[in-house]
Amino acid sequence: MSEAILEIRHLSKAFGAHVVLRDIDFTVRPGDVTSIIGASGSGKSTLLRCVNLLETPTSGEILFHGRDVTGRGMNAASYRSKVGMVFQSFNLFNNMTVLENCMVGQTKVLKKSKEEARQNAMKYLEKVGMAPYINAKPRQISGGQKQRVAIARALAMEPEVLLFDEPTSALDPEMVGEVLAVMRDLANEGMTMLVVTHEMAFARDVSNHVVYMADGVICEEGEPKELFAHPKQARTREFLSRFTGQVSGD
Amino acid sequence: MDKLVKLGQDVVLLWSKYWPMYLGGIRNTLILALVATVIGCIIGLICGILNTIPYTKNDPLPKRFLLKLIRVVVRVYVEVFRGTPMVLQAVFIYYGLPYFSDNALKFTGLTGTWVAAIIVVSINTGAYMAESVRGGIISIDPGQTEGAKAIGMTHVQTMTSVILPQALRNIMPQIGNNFIINVKDTSVMFIIMFTEFFAAHRYIVGVNNMYFPSAAIEMIGYLTMTLTASFLLRWVERRMDGADSYELVQTDALTMTAGTYTHPGKAEDVLERNLEEERGK
């Protein structure tokens, strides 16, 4: 087995007295597509935000290639430039065009030249089908388009892992498909992805590892086919039964 | 009616006799207001940025202490200069410097008054702008900061590339407000012998006692300056917002085959059709 990119060890997070995550353990290896599923409020998003250090874990370790990134001496910015993130609410920079959104990280953080950044940005914008819109401002494009640009922006940094925080939850149903299609392509190309999602079909068909979370703990995890077909825990079964209509597409 | 005619004659008389003085006053007022607003904005920006540097419990103690200290200093600065009259600040600084340095340092001559006036108005504007900038920064969706952090930007990069350009746009009306207030309020600088527009009035009426006609000239003069400023600021704001439309880049093969449009027309037509399609989707 190849060396892990990310190892989460005994991760806990509390907001004051409210404990959101309890003793989370899991590992992400190169090429893994891990889906984190669970009810709202189960801590999925907080977990992902902790992985990207947007939230400071209360205790536990996040090892990136074996090095703990939660320590005081660590440079969070340089770690984040290697771990891309796609948000539920897109978070495109409103003061920049689509192209500038995909270039700014490369020029400011990776110190690439304008021309190199531009070419790279175009490559990924073409990949997500947004190349014609490079001159548009975020306010001028639809939600699905924004999310595709956000994916291109993250990809343009050429991250080792890409985190998705409910990337389709803020989208109209008819726009979900275009974003999922892009994510499916990425998974097929071997991109390492960690996806918090409510799209059970995506979790089952695209990912190779599914984590079911409930009340801040990992309740069950495993192969998607196995977990969806034969959930071991009663809570998992109950949760999945709500989605039977959505999943039984085959 | 007679009175109005009389007023008109007096105004013309005053203007024809003293126009270089009035114009000189207007020039000084505008230069002072402009320079002080720009410097004030820079002070405000710096204070606003310093005030919003985030720190967590995990940061080392010296860093936390320093950031806390900066916030206290900025707070004191804002409260003191926002809470005292500018005319008094002018006196305080103009006469305070020689007082404390035993006359070794003082604002002498024309340069001295200019320097003192610019310092006072800038510091005053900075105190107001610090709060405006802080408001502008916290009004930006936290998602913008998270988006910037997520691609590895540092706090400074996030601020300069993402947050401040948007915050600046949002506080443009405030900057305009401050400029217009400065155009008018620099009139108190006569107290330190600064010859702006209102000082010209004071000098002229001292010579000939034509208080009301001169005041009428002043009213018109100030209104002209402020209205022009308002107009220019609106124009700048529109420029900052950029165009409402954008051009599609039509070289992409995908869009050509995707049937987003049937025959190439003007760029606007294509855009409209695409937008309609987006909406209809």
pLDDT tens for B193-236 read: 888 899 999 999 988 888 999 999 999 999 999 999 999 999 99
Find the helix packing angle between A114-127 and A143-156, rounded to 10°. Answer: 130
Q: Which residues have C-beta within 8 Å of that of residue B123, sequence separation ≥ 6? A: B40, B43, B81, B89
Choose among B151, B242, B246: nearest Cβ to A153.
B151
What distance in Å separates the CA atoms of residue A127 and residue B68, rounded to the nearest whole number?
46
Q: Does B103 touch chain A (CB under 8 A)?
A: no
Q: What is the pLDDT of residue B267?
A: 45
| B57, B59, B151, best to mutate vs chain A, most A CBs in 10 Å | B151
pLDDT of residue A174: 84
pTM of the model: 0.79
Cα–Cα–Cα angle for A109, A136, B236, nearest 5°? 90
Q: Compute the distance between CA of residue A182 and CA of residue B260 in angstroms, rounded to an integer.
A: 20
A131 vs B contacts (CB less than 8 Å): 249, 252, 254
**Distance separating alpha carbons of residues B46 and A15, to the nearest angstrom:** 32
ipTM over 0.90: no
Cα B200 from Cα B218, distance rounded (Å): 9
Amino acid, single-letter form, for residue B241: D
Q: Identify which of A95, A105, A174 has the shortest CB distance to residue B152.
A: A105
pLDDT at B180: 94
A154 reaches B (C-beta below 8 A): yes
**pLDDT score for B62:** 87
pLDDT at A73: 67
- Check if B150 contacts A (Cβ < 8 Å): yes
Q: How far B46 CA lies from chain A's nearest CA (Å)?
A: 21
- A247 at B interface, C-beta within 8 A: no
Determine the pLDDT at residue B37.
94
Q: What is the dihedral of CA A100, A106, A107, A109, to 10 degrees?
A: 120
Determine contact, residues B27/B196, Cβ cutoff 8 Å: no
User: Which residues of chain A fall below pLDDT 50?
Assistant: 248-250
Report how far residue A33's alpha carbon sits from residue A206's, in angstroms, rounded to the nearest whole number: 7
Which residues of chain B fall below pLDDT 70?
250-281
CB contact under 8 A, A174 and B281: yes
What pLDDT, on the 0 to 100 scale, is given for residue B278? 54
Query: Do residue A72 and residue B252 have CB atoms under 8 angstroms apart?
Result: no
